Amino acid sequence: MYKVKQWVLISDYSMLKNTITDEEKRIGSHDFLVLLLLCENSGNIVHKHKLLEYAWAGKHVSEGSVAQAISNIRNVIDDNGKDQKHLKTIPKIGYKLDSCVVEIIDDPTFDRTLIEEKAEGKILSPDTSEQEKNTHDASIPAQKDMANHSIGNKYSWLHSWQFISGVICLLIAFIYPSIRKHDINTPDTTSIIVPETITDSASLTMFWDNKERGEIVSLRLLPYIEALQKTHPPIRLVIMHVENTLSLVILKESLKPINVIFMLNSGDDVELITQLIKDEIQYHEH
Amino acid sequence: MMTSIIVSLKTGPKAAINGAMFIHSSDGSYNATRHFEMFVKKHTFESNVIFTETGLKNIIEAKSTGEINKNAPGQYTITLFNETENRAYIKDYNKIPLYNEYISANRKLADYQKIQLVEELNNDYMIVATNGWAPHMIAIQVVVKE
């Protein structure tokens, strides 16, 4: 890890950290890569094309991008294009960073851990930071372990929507079959279409969804049908009334049954329904 | 048509079923007729239905294949596999309940159509009730092929 003047380059975060004030500056990833290459070749001239290839690998950008990155870097390290104290422009060739301002830091773990702690919201004051620094040296392995297995990283998968939706799907997969099994074993009462029996005699069978109205119709029809039996071949009537539909099955000996269905209006009264049935019987009497 | 499917389970693996019904409105403004023939083998069926009603200019002929499922004693449901019908020429959209029921999406749902056995008659006839454009009851004839 490199240190340019008081700024340490933290490559994992494209960030510069001031070792004196603990100030952190985030710079663009391209700018960071340019600075990194200049640090690696400090004291030597780095060609513009090399910078372009390194910082903008696979992309086609103009040399102006390099110039802009250099300008940004100069701002950070208190330099400028006019003075060129540390970062010098070599006209038409490239740039050179003075080796006197570049240091190589041997132990980067400390800085990395601090940054991670800050990222977790554990902001330290300069005093406590120093204290932490001192204690840190004695427990580098523990710090490393903390950095690698911090709570946020370790359990971040628990908060991912993929994990939650997966758990929900598993729950449904286990619970749904048991619910369905229960449904299948329960008798399906919704398929019952035929309502209550009102009358069940030799000449008339009636199923009616409104018992009161059904009984009135039955009382009016029975004498009529019984009278018919005396003068005509035996006739039997099966009637079903559900909602606004009246179904008649007229059964006569040795003849095909006759199916007649009436679609009633909601205002049709008992008298009209009785008359409809009588008319239909009369129509099919012979 | 659908009501007669139930009979196949009573009569054995091969049966021919037929029936006819006349449908009227109480005020006499609507009339319809429906005839059907059906051939049942094990739990599957093929049927031919012919019907016409006041709001149609022509006769509709529909061919269907499907499956019968037994839910409880005397209660069955059917599932359609495939159905084709000829083109309808409509003269009154308010008076085509049979055709509307025939082309409805609900009817294509599995186990949507329900059938209930009401009574077994003499001479190969049975009375069954079914849902459809409306709950209704009809007598059907069953001819069993040996």
Report pLDDT digits (tens) over A203-238.
899 999 989 999 999 999 988 888 888 777 788 899
Burial of B14 (0-12, 13-18, 19+ CB in 10 A): middle
Contact between chains at B25 and A243 (C-beta distance less than 8 A): no
Which stretches of chain A sit within 8 Å of chain B by CB?
187-188, 190-194, 205, 207, 238, 240, 242-245, 247, 249, 251, 254, 256-265, 268, 272-273, 276
Question: Which pLDDT value is given to residue A228?
Answer: 83
Instruction: Give one DSSP letter per residue of chain A, joined into a string.
Output: -EEETTEEEEGGGTEEEETTT--EEE--HHHHHHHHHHHHTTTSEEEHHHHHHHHTTT----HHHHHHHHHHHHHHTT--TTT-SSEEEETTTEEEE-GGGEEE-S--HHHHHHHHHHHTT----HHHHHHHHHHHHHTHHHHHHHHHT-HHHHTGGGG-HHHHHHHHHHHHHHHHHHHHHHHHHS--GGG-----EEEE-SSEEEEESSHHHHHHHHHHHHHHHHHHHHHSS-EEEEEEEETTEEEEEEEETTS--EEEEEE--TT--HHHHHHHHHHHHHHT--
Contact between chains at A245 and B134 (C-beta distance less than 8 A): yes
Closest chain A residue to the Cα of B131, Cα to Cα: A193
Collect all residues of chain A within an 8 Å Cβ-Cβ radius of residue B100.
Answer: none
Cα Rg of chain B (Å, integer): 15
Candidate from A107-121, A206-220, B103-117 with smallest mean pLDDT: A107-121
Chain B interface disruption, residue of A249, A252, A260, A279, most B CBs within 10 A: A249
Distance CA B121, CA B137 (A): 14
Mean pLDDT value of segment A33-46: 88
Contact call for residues A225 and A282 (beta carbons, < 8 A): no
Distance CA A270, CA A274 (A): 6
Contact between chains at B129 and A263 (C-beta distance less than 8 A): no
Q: What is the pLDDT of residues A47-105, one digit of tens each?
A: 888 888 888 888 888 888 888 889 888 888 888 888 888 888 988 888 988 888 888 87
Asked if the C-beta of B120 comes within 8 angstroms of chain A's C-beta atoms, the answer is: no
Residue B76 has pLDDT above 90, yes or no: no
Token output for B130: 């079914």
Token output for A278: 């009588």
Residue B77 has pLDDT above 80, yes or no: yes
Nearest to A259 among B114, B135, B138 (CB): B138
Query: Minimal Cα–Cα distance from B34 to chain A, Å?
Result: 10
b (16+ CB within 10 A) / e for A203-220: bbbbbbbeeeebebbbeb
- Confirm whether the ipTM is greater than 0.85: yes
Chain A interface disruption, residue of B18, B26, B109, most A CBs within 10 A: B26
Percent of chain A predicted with pLDDT > 90: 17
pTM, whole model, 2 decimals?
0.55
Mean pLDDT value of segment B75-82: 89
More confident residue, A108 or B127: B127
* Angle formed at CA B50 by CA B48 and CA B55, multiple of 5 degrees: 145
Query: Minimal Cα–Cα distance from B78 to chain A, Å?
Result: 11
Collect all residues of chain A within an 8 Å Cβ-Cβ radius of residue B25.
Answer: 262-265
pLDDT confidence band for B8 (50 / 70 / 90): low
Contact call for residues A42 and A102 (beta carbons, < 8 A): yes
Asked if the C-beta of B31 comes within 8 angstroms of chain A's C-beta atoms, the answer is: no
More confident residue, A259 or A155: A259
- Residues A133, A137, A143, A144: what is their CA dihedral angle, to the nearest 10 degrees? 120
Contact between chains at B134 and A242 (C-beta distance less than 8 A): yes
Q: Which residues contact A182 (CB under 8 A, 6 or more apart)?
A: none
Element (H, E) at B5: helix B5-11
Which 8-state DSSP code applies to residue B30? -
